[in-house]
Structure 1
Amino acid sequence: MEKIPKFVCAIILSLVAVAETTNDSQQRWCCKSQAELDKCRHLQTLITSDDKVVFQFGCVYAAGTSECIQKIKNGEADLMFLDGGDIYRSEEFLSVVAAEDYGEGDASYYAVAVVKNSGNEDLDILKLLDEDEVGRFKSCHTGVGKTSGWNTPIGWIARQMNLTEIDGRIKLYDPFHSSCAPGANNPLYMDKLPKPHDTEKWCQLCIGDGNGNHKCDRDNDEQYYGYAGAFRCLKEGGGDIAFVKHTTVPVDEHDNYSLLCPEGGRAHPSEWKHCTFARVPAHGLMMRSNTTLEAARDVYEKLLFAQENMLEADFLSYGGITNLLWKSSTKQFLDVSNDGNVMTSREYLGIEYYCNMKTLDGAILPWECVSQ
């Protein structure tokens, strides 16, 4: 019997792998890192006791959030969760079909600043506004352009300093010595940095994948990316302050950390409601803006079915990595359809957050912001 050439075998195996990952009837989930792709493919293998597929989505890989957004826009993928900052940047061509709920019963969460109880006992948020303290403290961010890790604190600092450019736009202010702000070295996000755009400084505390690669990448290949990554940067990476959300600090570690309050002073992590910088939109599940209500509800039902039928361990993490595909602190997924229609990005973000982002962008404010 004649042997099949090796290159033919390789092609066959590739086609089999693609067939296992997606088919024409599946909506395709965009995975922004190899770890997310691995989890997505793992979830595809889960079967219920009555032989139903638990995770009824295809898996598509992209090198980071921006590439994922582009793939969805181009019709090469169909959906992914995005934070408020990324939703804002893609508002023209994406709509929101579901949202993460972190236990508050609504599609929102709270931005906080976390510090260790040991070391820098005199660190107060108001010191970031003191020009005599500039360059003293090191910061950990979830990612440039991210809601609680960047837009909220950098915007808050800028508004408090009330410095303006020659043309009247708000001037971003940098009070830090060094940082890990994943994405700072990406040309797509450099304009979000305070001037001068010192990418080396904003990436200095980042560590990449631990093997010398992917340093400062705006995805899970950078170990200090996201909420868990920013907290890890604070915990072990030399950072003095981490900008995260109210559920990031593990409950069993609460007594080792404090929150810095915007009015000054500190609070226990359990007192986040009284020590928060902003209530901000939760991560939303995004699809193209022409998505029908029927398609949106189909995706929502599949998402609920998946959560109800997978083990908690599979929902929370994969390979020891948390916050893959969705945030591990998610308690449930919410339907955000608006009066029988798919919700637009602007409706989901809310006018206050939307106008804040317009201000930080130095854009001409639309009438609804001016009239606020």
Structure 2
Amino acid sequence: MSQGICCCHRPLPTTEQDCSSARREREEAAHLAGLPPVYAVALAKKTARHISIHNLRGRRSCHGYAYSLAGWLLLSRHTVGALENGTLSCNLSSAYQDYFWKGCMPGAEGNLCKVCIGQQEMERGKDSSRCAANHDERYYGNMGALRCLLGDPSGRSFGDVAFLEHHNLLQNIDYLERSGWATGGAPNDLELLCPDGSRAAVADWKTCTLGPVPPNIVVTRPAAAAKVYKFLMKSQEASRSSPFQLFQSQKYGDRDLLFKDSTQHLLPTSHLGYEAILGISFWQLAESIFNCTPVGILDFCKQDPCAYSAPH
């Protein structure tokens, strides 16, 4: 199960931190290190023996969604080389368009939407939403990437490889087989693609992984941090003994509304900075990619909040 992290940052003091503050930061970092790890993995059918992590160029790919950690960011190290050699476009999304033949990466465009199937009209009584970055696309998220690998019930619209997080993987495989979505989709029919080019059993994600997925973080402006922290902690406590459920969106007729429904609880991070929470290696990878990959939300975050005034 994935773990949520409530990260309410406060500006660090300009003077040197005292010993108690430094000790508290080490204790909090150790606390985060004790969380159940989540790994990004690449999954393929056992019968497709010719596929390895080193020959995915030109194949059909399945990704949870655009900008996801497992299916977009960490994947770059093992496919387009995280743009390290400068031979590919600095725009990671464009690099994937050129790297894969076609696929389903909800929220993307072009050939990375051609394998997507949207939502059946008879299920929700509305038009199909192919490649939407939400659950209207049946190939969205970890479960969706797995569906994409196995193919739709008709046996069409499938990928050669799926990139997703490992948590709940065995349960999701079992669910899709029991629900009639796809036959021949038992754990023994699938294998992980390892960074060294070998393969491993589905359960061996600790030794055959694309990298660890850092915990999710809630961020806010420093001026609002105390209020947001207090609200989330109270809401989390209330959801344990009242009809209100902070993490269970099904009660409100949808999925993953505010947090993933698989979230168990939030943890305070107090003085920890981004690098301590995300890890140096992940932080450097993300920084190098987002420095040259256009993302609308990052442009918005860089805007000067003082340039906008609230309506009178």
**Range into which the TM-score falls when normalised by the shorter chain:** 0.5 to 0.7
Shift of 1:255: 2.4
Shift of 1:308: 5.9
> Counterpart in 2 of 1:143?
65
How many corresponding residue pairs?
244
RMSD of the alignment, in Å? 3.9
> Counterpart in 1 of 2:112?
202
Residue 212 of structure 2 corresponds to residue 279 of structure 1: yes
Shift of 1:325: 3.6
User: Is the 2:54–2:79 contact (alpha carbons within 8 Å) kept by the matching residues of 1?
Assistant: no
> Counterpart in 2 of 1:360?
289
2:79 pairs with one of 154, 157, 170: 157
Map residues 183-198 of structure 1 onto 2, 5 A cutoff.
Answer: 183-185=107-109
Shift of 1:248: 4.2
Question: d(CA) in 1 for partners of 2:39 and 2:100?
Answer: 23
Residue 49 of structure 2 corresponds to residue 125 of structure 1: no
Per the alignment, in what secondary structure is the counterpart of residue 298 of structure 1? helix
> Counterpart in 1 of 2:102?
178
User: Is the 1:180–1:206 contact (alpha carbons within 8 Å) kept by the matching residues of 2?
Assistant: yes
Are residues 301 and 319 of structure 1, via their aligned partners in 2, closer, same or farther at CA, if it must alter by over 3 Å? closer
Map residues 58-73 of structure 1 onto 2, 5 A cutoff.
Answer: none
Are residues 125 and 310 of structure 1, via their aligned partners in 2, closer, same or farther at CA, if it must alter by over 3 Å? farther
Question: d(CA) in 2 for partners of 1:359 and 1:210?
Answer: 39
> Counterpart in 1 of 2:40?
111
> Counterpart in 2 of 1:243?
163
TM-score by length of 2: 0.64
User: Is the 1:107–1:334 contact (alpha carbons within 8 Å) kept by the matching residues of 2?
Assistant: no
1:334 pairs with one of 262, 266, 271: 266
Shift of 1:158: 2.2
Question: d(CA) in 2 for partners of 1:168 and 1:325?
Answer: 32
Per the alignment, in what secondary structure is the counterpart of residue 62 of structure 2? strand
Are residues 248 and 208 of structure 1, via their aligned partners in 2, closer, same or farther at CA, if it must alter by over 3 Å? same
Which one-letter code corresponds to 2:105 in the other structure? A
Which one-letter code corresponds to 1:180 in the other structure? C
Which one-letter code corresponds to 1:280 in the other structure? V
Residue 224 of structure 2 corresponds to residue 291 of structure 1: yes
Are residues 184 and 289 of structure 1, via their aligned partners in 2, closer, same or farther at CA, if it must alter by over 3 Å? farther
Which one-letter code corresponds to 2:161 in the other structure? I
2:187 pairs with one of 254, 259, 271: 254
Shift of 1:346: 5.5
Map residues 215-226 of structure 1 onto 2, 5 A cutoff.
Answer: 215-226=130-141
Shift of 1:235: 1.8
Question: d(CA) in 1 for partners of 2:203 and 2:254?
Answer: 25
> Counterpart in 1 of 2:303?
none
Per the alignment, in what secondary structure is the counterpart of residue 243 of structure 1? strand
Question: d(CA) in 2 for partners of 1:181 and 1:167?
Answer: 19
User: Is the 1:97–1:300 contact (alpha carbons within 8 Å) kept by the matching residues of 2?
Assistant: no
Shift of 1:260: 0.7
Question: d(CA) in 1 for partners of 2:218 and 2:37?
Answer: 13
Unaligned 5+ segments in structure 1 are 1-80, 85-94, 99-103, 129-133, 186-198, 365-372
Shift of 1:243: 0.5
Higher strand share: 1
Are residues 83 and 116 of structure 1, via their aligned partners in 2, closer, same or farther at CA, if it must alter by over 3 Å? farther
Question: d(CA) in 1 for partners of 2:8 and 2:169?
Answer: 28
Residue 7 of structure 2 corresponds to residue 96 of structure 1: yes
TM-score by length of 1: 0.55
Shift of 1:163: 3.6
Are residues 207 and 166 of structure 1, via their aligned partners in 2, closer, same or farther at CA, if it must alter by over 3 Å? closer
Are residues 354 and 83 of structure 1, via their aligned partners in 2, closer, same or farther at CA, if it must alter by over 3 Å? farther
Are residues 321 and 231 of structure 1, via their aligned partners in 2, closer, same or farther at CA, if it must alter by over 3 Å? farther
